[in-house]
């Protein structure tokens, strides 16, 4: 038997098969070739799983492939060294071959990556984000769409009943209260007129017009019947604690109803839970997302008479009603025209950003069905029919103060925000406009407005193929059901979007699981939702989602920075060592421009700590003013690959020039004999040249770390809007103390290797230098100039490309609505699928 909980459990248990599927014909058969192809692909998957190239997060898979590639490059480099020395079996040749191979291996990569992600996770906890799934760390930087719930995420989750409409009496309004749980605060005003359309603040309650609650209840049986529904069809509890302060337990919607009823001394606890209780609950039909109603049956303790109380979505409740108290005390048939008038009142309340519920009740006569009891309640369909409509109540959940700014920042970051809520379309639209999800609807055409806002019923009418034909997907879906959220995610994925989905209930768990980044609410979320999510927000705040995205982008940027730094060094070392094989001594063996220990020193000591510092870099000022990075491209973009080659080759050429200058320009060109193994007088020039090359490479690696703080901006202008244009670079250098001291330590540790006896000659195969420092300084200036020139060219290139493609920060913000306006302008007729012309 199908149940909603059963389908949720099935979707959460669903796992992908490890075996490749066989593509069968329409009759279910398949040729042996197709079976063989599926078998070969399955074996390939197992091999890839063993090697780690098709398991783990996208970053882990890319790094696994990189490790395999670098391993084979290292093998080739070692073979080249051996071949250049005629495959000599001398110890120094073999060690140098191994060292050359190791120069291609970024030894500190795993350590730095692990520490960077651990620190990123800690930063997220400090910003109210708990990461449950490691893949979400790198996925956050690629998010293009956010599908967010409204209540408690974009809004404060502290609902207040602001207006109640009783057909026979008019509108009751509640003034502003700074404590949503205190029923004694807030002026009460009555108007015989129904509510009018407008904003939530269009008719604020004035204290001077306030009326006492007791006065409003005089000879007002219709209002009392309304209050009984609000109080009893409700499981929330509002009471004073031991300190005399008002507190509440329960769902925010029900708390707001209970507080409103308590203003008139209709608290549920007093009626059905206290010592003088006059009624008792005998049956309950909890809220269901399919029927969108909740009902209870209460029994009078003296007369044993039973009464049904129902609340829920307006459209569903009025369909269950047959009567209405239209004039004072007069119950008449609930005609279609009266239902239309009720819907008009509902739309007026919804236009003020109020969540509107309908309340109804009736006496339950056991002769018309099974008597209600706790042991055997009557069927729900028997209870929720033939009701008497009692009125509407409008609940206001104010937007969080930071939501509007956060949504606007999302737009600037190239991220579209969709609101998926169970509220009425008018309510959803009003709140969406307040938090900048929707533009001013008065300035857009009716067609654009309808495409921006849909109900779940309208959205679900489309097949998958028809959804794919829509020019744009809606920004707001009202009356949203769990299955609608799943379909929205699938529709976005078919458009190559990368989405984050928020949710808090058990019903949200399927959509949280299939979303690229599932985000559960930590305060109001169920355990099932948290278990299905990748990330949990501890404060249930939409702004925290943006914090998580910013942190994900920061981490992605920093991983790019230190991987670029590491691999550029690897390229520089490998090129220096391989080209250096051309330097031959009198015995025909290559004279190595760098000793094996020097190579390992640069790999393990010089690079490791600065790379760790790069992983701790703060976010760039414009990190949320650029489009999301496509996750399929990953770390190794064309820009990173070009930078890697440019920086690596530039470093290698300068290192080789250092060696050449010392040996040939200022030296006698004598490479001596046996200079790879020990120091002698004839090897003095080679040892000095090797020391100069080592110091140059070390300096380049350290300076490159500072240049990598921003991959495009100049080292001297990383903060273009600074008020200190000439000294800002000093603050930027000190801004990351770990990186600063790592670079300083790298400079300091050079000197012991140069000037401590035995250590310099016997271990590092170098000697102390004097005038050669001039070469090092000149090479460092040339290195800095080359990097700055390359960055300058990049800035010009990307600025022109961004202007050509319309991807400036202002354009990114316009893209939030630009797709809708472009579609409207380019298509005078509708392009929507046939049969759905209403949308």
Mind telling me the catalytic residues?
149
Give the three-class secondary structure for 472: coil
Distance CA 453, CA 459 (A): 10
Element (H, E) at 536: strand 535-537
Q: Exposure string (b/e) for 495-513, b if CB count within 10 Å is 16 or more?
A: eebbbbbbbbbbbbbbbbb
Residue 252 — left, alpha, or beta (φ > 0 → left; ψ -120 to 50 → alpha)? alpha
Report yes or no: 517 and 505 within 8 Å, Cβ to Cβ: no
> How is residue 237 annotated by DSSP?
E
Question: 282 with 298: CB under 8 angstroms?
Answer: yes
184-200 burial string, b = 16+ CB within 10 Å, else e?
Answer: ebbbbbbbeebbeeeeb
Could you give the CA distance from residue 187 to residue 208 in angstroms, rounded to a whole number?
Answer: 9
The three-state DSSP-derived secondary structure of 99-154 is: HHHHCCCCCCHHHHHHHHHHHHHHHHHHCCEEECCCHHHHHHHHCCEEEECCCCCC
Element (H, E) at 500: strand 499-503
Question: Do 12 and 503 meet the contact criterion of CB atoms below 8 Å apart?
Answer: no
Q: Which residues neighbour 619 within 8 Å (Cβ) at sequence distance 6 or greater? A: 550, 551, 553, 554, 557
CA distance 714 to 262: 64
Spatial separation of the C-alpha atoms in residues 561 and 547, rounded to whole Å: 21
Within 10 A of 749 (CB to CB), how many other CB atoms are there?
13
- Give CA angle at 111 (110, 116), nearest 5°: 100
Among 420, 524, 436, 530, which Cα is nearest to 157's? 524
Instruction: Decide the pairing of beta strands 453-455 and 476-478.
Output: parallel
Return the ∠ at Cα 48 (arms to 42 and 51), rounded to 5°: 150
In three-state secondary structure terms, 175 is: coil
In angstroms, the CA 183 to CA 255 distance is 11
Rg, the chain, Cα only: 36
Helix, strand or coil, per DSSP, at residue 420? strand
Residue 570: other Cβ atoms inside 10 A: 24
- Integer CA distances (angstroms), 559 to 25, 112, 283, in order: 46, 9, 58
β-strands 237-240, 246-249 pairing: antiparallel
Q: How many CB atoms are closer than 10 A to CB 147? A: 24
Sign, Cα dihedral of 346, 348, 350, 352 = negative
**DSSP letters of 776-801?**
HHHHHHHHHHHHHHHHHHHHHHHHHH
Q: How far is CA 809 from each of CA 188, 328, 626, 802, 812, rounded to the nearest angstrom?
A: 48, 60, 6, 9, 5
End-to-end, the C-alpha distance of the chain in Å comes to: 35
d(CA 706, CA 732): 9
């Amino acid at each position: 038997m199908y149940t909603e909980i059963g389908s949720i459990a099935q979707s959460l248990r669903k796992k992908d098969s490890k075996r490749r599927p066989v593509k069968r014909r329409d009759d279910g058969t398949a040729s042996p070739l197709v079976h063989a192809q599926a078998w070969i692909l399955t074996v390939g998957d197992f091999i890839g799983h063993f090697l780690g190239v098709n398991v783990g997060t996208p970053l882990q898979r890319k790094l696994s492939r990189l490790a395999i590639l670098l391993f084979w490059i290292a093998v080739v480099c070692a073979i080249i060294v051996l071949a250049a020395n005629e495959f000599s079996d001398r110890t120094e040749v073999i060690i140098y071959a191994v060292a050359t191979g190791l120069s291609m291996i970024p030894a500190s990569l795993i350590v730095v990556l692990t520490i960077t992600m651990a620190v990123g996770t800690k930063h997220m906890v400090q910003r109210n984000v708990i990461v449950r799934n490691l893949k979400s760390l790198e996925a956050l930087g690629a998010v293009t769409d956010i599908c967010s719930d409204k209540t408690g995420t974009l809004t404060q989750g502290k609902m207040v009943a602001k207006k109640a409409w009783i057909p026979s009496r008019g509108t009751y309004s509640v003034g502003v209260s700074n404590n949503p749980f205190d029923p004694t605060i807030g002026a009460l005003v009555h108007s015989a007129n129904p509510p009018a359309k407008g904003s939530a603040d269009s008719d604020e309650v004035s204290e001077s017009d306030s009326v006492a609650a007791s006065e409003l209840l005089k000879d007002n049986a219709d209002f009392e019947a309304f209050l009984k529904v609000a109080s009893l069809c409700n499981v929330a509890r509002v009471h004073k604690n031991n300190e005399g302060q008002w507190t509440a337990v329960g769902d925010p919607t029900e708390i707001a109803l209970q507080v409103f009823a308590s203003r008139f001394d209709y608290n549920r606890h007093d009626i059905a839970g206290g010592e003088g209780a006059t009624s008792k609950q005998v049956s309950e039909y909890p809220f269901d997302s399919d029927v969108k109603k909740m009902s209870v049956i209460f029994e009078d303790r003296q007369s044993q008479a039973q009464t049904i109380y129902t609340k829920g979505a307006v459209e569903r409740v009025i369909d269950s009603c047959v009567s209405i108290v239209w004039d004072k005390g007069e119950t008449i048939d609930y005609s279609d025209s009266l239902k239309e008038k009720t819907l008009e009142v509902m739309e007026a309340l919804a236009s003020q950003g109020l969540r509107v519920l309908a309340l109804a009740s009736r006496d339950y006569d056991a002769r018309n069905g099974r008597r209600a009891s706790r042991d055997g309640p009557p069927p729900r369909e028997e209870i929720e029919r033939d009701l008497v409509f009692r009125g509407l109540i409008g609940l206001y959940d104010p937007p969080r103060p930071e939501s509007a700014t956060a949504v606007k920042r999302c737009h600037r970051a190239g991220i579209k925000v969709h609101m998926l809520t169970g509220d009425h379309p008018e309510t959803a639209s009003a709140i969406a406009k307040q938090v900048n999800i929707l533009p001013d609807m008065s300035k857009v055409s009716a067609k654009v407005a309808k495409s921006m806002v849909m109900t779940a019923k309208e959205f679900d009418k489309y097949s998958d193929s028809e959804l794919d034909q829509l020019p744009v997907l809606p920004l707001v879906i009202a009356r949203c059901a769990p299955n609608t959220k799943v379909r929205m995610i699938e529709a976005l994925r078919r458009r190559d979007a990368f989405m984050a989905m928020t949710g808090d209930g058990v019903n949200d768990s399927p959509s949280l699981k299939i979303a690229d980044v599932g985000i559960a609410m930590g305060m109001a979320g169920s355990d099932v939702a948290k278990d299905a999510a990748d990330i949990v927000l501890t404060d249930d705040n939409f702004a925290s989602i943006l914090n998580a995205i910013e942190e994900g982008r920061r981490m992605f940027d920093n991983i790019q920075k230190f991987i670029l730094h590491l691999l550029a060094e690897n390229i520089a070392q490998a090129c220096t060592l391989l080209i250096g094989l051309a330097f031959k001594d009198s015995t025909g063996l290559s004279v190595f421009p760098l000793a094996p220990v020097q190579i390992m020193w640069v790999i393990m000591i010089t690079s490791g700590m600065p790379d760790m510092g790069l992983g701790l870099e703060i976010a760039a000022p414009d990190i949320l003013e650029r489009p999301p990075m496509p996750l399929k491209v990953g770390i190794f973009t064309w820009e990173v690959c070009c930078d890697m080659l440019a920086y690596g080759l530039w470093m290698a050429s300068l290192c080789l020039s250092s060696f050449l200058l010392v040996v040939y320009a200022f030296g006698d060109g004598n490479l001596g004999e046996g200079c790879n193994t020990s120091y002698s007088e004839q090897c003095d020039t080679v040892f000095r040249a090797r020391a100069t090359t080592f110091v140059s490479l070390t300096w380049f690696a350290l300076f490159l770390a500072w240049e990598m703080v921003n991959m495009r901006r100049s080292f001297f202008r990383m903060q273009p809007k600074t008020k200190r244009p000439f000294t800002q670079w000093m603050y930027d250098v000190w801004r990351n103390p770990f990186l600063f001291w790592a670079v300083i330590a790298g400079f300091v540790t050079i000197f012991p290797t140069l000037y401590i006896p035995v250590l310099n000659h016997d271990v590092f195969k170098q000697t102390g230098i004097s005038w050669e420092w001039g070469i090092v300084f000149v090479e460092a200036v040339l290195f800095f100039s080359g990097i700055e020139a390359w960055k300058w060219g990049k800035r010009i290139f990307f600025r022109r490309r961004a202007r050509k493609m319309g991807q400036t920060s202002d354009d990114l913000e316009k893209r939030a609505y630009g797709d809708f306006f472009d579609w409207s302008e380019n298509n005078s007729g509708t392009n929507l699928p046939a049969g759905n012309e209403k949308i």
